[in-house]
Amino acid sequence: MLHKKKIIILILSLLLFISILLCICFISKDNFHITVYGNEYNYNTVKNLDNDLKKNKPVFDNENLNNYVTYKADINSILNASLITRIKYSITKENLKPNYTISFNKNKLREKLNELNMSADYPQDAFITKDNDTWKINKEVKGSFILVDDLLKSLSSSTTKIDLNKFYKKPNITEKDLKPIFKKISKYQDWSCKYSNGNEIRANGNYVDYNSSANEITVSDKWIKKEVKKALSDYNTVGKERDFITHDGQNITVSGGTWGNSPNIEEEITFLKEKFNKGESITDREPEYNYQYDEFPNTYIEISIEQQHLWVYQDSQLIMETDIITGDATKHRDTPTGCYFISEHINGKYLTGENYKTWVNKWMRLTNQGVGLHDAKWQPRFGGNRYKGHGSHGCINLPPKFASDLFDTVSVGWLVVIYNC
């Protein structure tokens, strides 16, 4: 029994001795080994943890910027650890991750960031361009210009990593921003207007105006005017040659004047631009008109300059006629020939021109230049060759009584055919 106790005491003494040796070993600073953030340190080298953190856990990918970052690790919690904790660190090789704080020299960082910006690429907005008839989107370029103020404001003691990409100035307009308007451009390139006579206006890339500042598209004014005039030329019958049978049965051809169909170019342009901007194509379009007087009616006024005579027909029946005085040919004031319609029907008007102002009681305008039919009480007689030397400034002078009767008979829109034979 005694022998057994001695053995137990011996074993316990041996264990105690070994424990003391181990404690002495681990208590020794030279034998204190730990792993921090994957790196092995002893009691002395752990003091270099601040500098190692700067290398191993940089805030910035740019080394020059990290020069203005200071790290402060909490190493006291490691150095002042209990014996048991130290033994645990050494045996388990546990990878410690002590807390640390970061401070920044913002003034120096600002200087360095501004220096980097001097050679940085500025971002470029996405934009739309036209190559011949084809439009395309040119993608944005991100660049490397740093928003210094935004970056510095984001820094704090808890900041551990800064991704510079997040602080690069972004383009104002991206490809995604332009896709909706680009889709409209593509749609408008297929826009068309088909007229009832078969003429067609068809758009393509050349006829789209893109305003990048307003990010909107419109039809080109220059193009639309040109195309409308071209498309409506067949609808315009004003002044074209027309066959006419005179009072005495002669078949003559008369051209010029205001009679005919007159498409309203400006109103048509306004209408088409509205449809274009909505992306709405048009079929079987009948254009807008200023007026439409195409077919010859059987109610009209016939005037022969050579014969100095006027005839009035109503429903193909002669109802009135008179001698007249037309423009003075000797003074280059000839009355214009052609087919006209009465565009103004006024009871009393001053006629004005160079060196004259004359009142007439009955006025029936034919041209925009001021030629018309009116009473001329100052003329002592009418017809014959009096118009040569005593003719008007281009108007058709009428006997006062006849002018009054004619005024009461006609109205705006009446056809007036003037010829010189």
**Start-end of H helices in 28-82:** 49-56, 63-66, 76-79
Nearest by Cα to 224 from 184, 285, 267, 273: 273
Give the model confidence (pLDDT) of 276-319 as tens digits: 888 889 999 999 999 999 889 999 999 999 999 999 999 999 99
Whole-angstrom Cα distance, residue 242 to residue 291? 18
CA distance 185 to 218: 9
- pLDDT tier for residue 34 given thresholds of 50, 70 and 90: low
Min mean pLDDT across 51-55, 379-383, 384-388, 407-411 is at 51-55
pLDDT at residue 189, as a whole number: 76
Q: Which CATH architecture has domain 189-244+253-293?
A: Roll (3.10)
Find where tokens 């290398």 sit.
55
Residue 412 has pLDDT above 80, yes or no: yes
* Residue 341 contacts residue 416 (beta carbons within 8 Å): yes
3-state secondary structure string across 287-352: CCEEEEECCCCCCEEEEECCCCEEEEEECCEEEEEEECECECHHHCCCCCCEEEECCEEEEEEEEE
Rounded-to-integer distance, Cα 201 and Cα 384, Å: 53
Residue 22: count of CB within 10 angstroms of its CB: 14
Does the pLDDT of residue 222 top 80, yes or no? yes
With a cut of 80, say whether residue 363 has pLDDT above it. Answer: yes
Single-letter residue type at 387:
Y
| pLDDT reported for residue 254 | 97
Q: Could you state, in order of their start, the residue ranges of all structural domains in the chain?
A: 1-31, 32-104, 120-177, 189-244+253-293, 300-419
Domain 300-419 sits in CATH at: 2.40.440.10
- Please tell me the predicted confidence (pLDDT) of residue 221: 83
pTM: 0.61
Is residue 35 packed enough to be buried (19+ CB in 10 Å), middle (13-18) or exposed (0-12)? middle
Q: Which of 49-53, 162-166, 186-190, 203-207 has the highest mean pLDDT?
A: 162-166
Which backbone phi and psi does 66 adopt, to 5 degrees? -70, -15
